[in-house]
Amino acid sequence: MRSVSAAIVGFSMLSAAVSVAAAQPLPGDFVFLRDADPTILQDIRYAGSNNFVGRPLKGYEAGECIVTRKVAAALTRVQRDLASRGLSLKMLDCYRPQRAVDDMYAWAQDGRETAAQRRYNPKMSKADLFRRGYIVRHSGHSTGKAVDLTLVQLPAAKVPPFDPNAGFADCTAPEGLRTPEGSVDMGTGYDCSDAKAHTASKAITRHQRKWRDTLVSAMTRQGFVNFRLEWWHFALPGGANVAYDFPVTKRR
């Protein structure tokens, strides 16, 4: 009986420890964006296989957008502005653990070209992505102040599950041929490493330019700064530039 009692006590203590660990808040000044504004759509691409690596990146244990409180508040204001025009933000990446950044770098250096990579980088090798600054050793995403996003017209259309074996064209192709994203047509797909994805690219239609301008304008009004090589990437300046490495976990 003593050994059974001890086992029960030990199990209870372990369960309590697990519960406490699960209940621990996010570190620093981070929050789940769903807690700040549940109306903002999310499709965190590095938590699945619909990305240039073709698999979940290290540290992405759930498809949740995590950002600093200041960024969450600013995104909420952007969403309020867009909602009045029948639009919504869709988050594609938010906080990115440093281990995921390291995973990207290792992938870019391994010398193996993949079909997934070609959908996103039709004109460059993997090594080119690092040399040209598309993949870096230290990312603003790891500070919680950088986000990747797009626009969706409401009501949002249902997007079919991603099929990695489908014969989608590369990210620079017309919208109907590339991977479905359930968003407005920005001229290229998300994470497209190509000159056509540069925010000010002249190689897009007037309609596509209108959508890029709408996104940039809405984000700029709330203090975000766009990265000129990627129409989807924005950062909110200010505060400490500390890179974090806690995993992206499911919101509890």
Query: Which position has the higher pLDDT, 15 or 143?
Result: 143
Residue 85: pLDDT over 60: yes
Which tokens belong to 26?
């996010």
Which position has the higher pLDDT, 2 or 135? Answer: 135
Q: Between 53 and 4, name the one with better pLDDT.
A: 53
Domain encompassing residue 80: 27-235
pLDDT for 172: 97
Q: Is residue 201 part of a domain?
A: yes
In a domain, 93, yes or no: yes
Does residue 251 lie within any of the structural domains? no
Partnered with residue 152 across adjacent β-strands are 88
Report the CATH number that the domain containing residue 44 is assigned in CATH: 3.30.1380.10
Question: pLDDT tens digits for 194-223?
Answer: 999 999 999 999 999 999 999 999 999 999
Share of the chain above pLDDT 90, in %: 70
Q: Please indicate, yes or no, if residue 57 is contained in any of the structural domains.
A: yes
DSSP string, 10-45: HHHHHHHHHHHHHHPPPSTTEEEHHHH-TTSEE--G
Cα(200)–Cα(203) distance, integer angstroms: 9
Q: Among 84-88, 118-122, 231-235, which stretch is predicted with the lowest mean pLDDT?
A: 118-122
The size of the chain, in residues, is 252
Alpha-carbon distance of 78 to 73, in angstroms, equals 9
246 lies in some domain: no
52 in a structural domain: yes
* 52-78: burial string, b at 16+ Cβ within 10 Å, e else: bbbebbbbbeebbbbbbebbbebbbeb
pLDDT digits (tens, 9 = 90+) for 36-53: 999 999 999 999 999 999
Domain count, the chain: 1
137: enclosing H helix or E strand? none
Residue 8, pLDDT above cutoff 60: no
Residue 32: inside a domain, yes or no? yes
Q: How confident is the model at residue 6 (pLDDT cuts 50, 70, 90)?
A: very low
Contact present, 147 and 91 (Cβ < 8 Å)? yes
Rounded to two decimals, the pTM is: 0.88
> Does 33 fall in a domain?
yes
